[in-house]
Structure 1
Amino acid sequence: MELLDNDTVAMFAKGRGNVEAFCQVLSELEEVLEFSVTGDDAGFFSYTRYAADDLTRMLMQDRRESSYLIRGWLV
């Protein structure tokens, strides 16, 4: 995840599971501006760019000044 200068977040991720359902969820979120997914249910990579909210912005700015790792899961 990286906070971009235009107040959006770019996120690269890997996953496995129902790719079609994953894409459906991303397409329905108004915060998601664009996304791309490659792979299949056995394993895929995704790129998502979405609007930063206050919490995400704070975490991303703090991350630049520290050495912690943010790991997320899509449930």
Structure 2
Amino acid sequence: MGNWEKEMKERSVGRGSCLFAMIVALMFAAGCATAPPGSGFLKDYSKLQTDPDDESLKWWEKEGVDWKRYKK
């Protein structure tokens, strides 16, 4: 393989890696965009609590509920 061919192959690999990195970065940025709006099922979404371990999980719990009254 000639010196010119080797150099072109190295450039091609470098461009492919750069393009791949740019695509991954764009996908990451799109995935981290703002959260989607509520579906309209609830009137007030501000009362939902966020799970400390997973911010994508939200729930609402009525204050004063005695959960011991309920069985599995």
Which structure has greater helix proportion? 2
Greater RCO, CA 8 A, separation 6+: 1
State which structure, 1 or 2, has the greater radius of gyration over its C-alpha atoms.
Answer: 2
The structure with the greater share of residues assigned to strand is 1
TM-score normalised per structure 2: 0.20
